[in-house]
């Protein structure tokens, strides 16, 4: 039982550590985030969660989304 609890805890911690990016499957939406300064570089399908976790509104009008 102790081994099961340890394994469960390890799995939860690994999920928390790896969940530092948010997937953005729409290339146009990610480009809009780049244009607005919330991401850098070329669209790669993800954005660092820390860059967008406090964003409460986005104006993506005319961005072909």
How many CA atoms are closer than 13 Å to the CA of 6, on its beta-carbon side? 3
| Residue 8 counted as domain residue | no
Does any domain span residue 45? yes
pLDDT for residue 48 is more than 90: yes
Q: What pLDDT is attached to residue 8? A: 66
**For residues 15-38, average pLDDT:** 87
With respect to residue 5, please indicate whether it lies within any of the assigned structural domains. Answer: no
Summary mean pLDDT of the chain: 85
Give the count of domains, the chain: 1
| Contact (CB, 8 A) for 7 and 14 | no
pLDDT of residue 6: 76
Closest CA to 46 of 54, 38, 36, 55: 38
Please report the pLDDT score of residue 5 as a whole number.
76
């Amino acid at each position: 039982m102790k081994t099961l609890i340890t394994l469960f805890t390890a799995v939860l911690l690994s999920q928390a550590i790896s969940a530092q990016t948010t997937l953005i499957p729409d290339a146009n939406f990610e480009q809009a985030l780049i244009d607005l300064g919330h991401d850098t570089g070329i669209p790669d399908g993800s954005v660092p969660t820390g860059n967008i976790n406090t964003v409460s509104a986005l104006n993506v009008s005319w961005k072909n989304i």
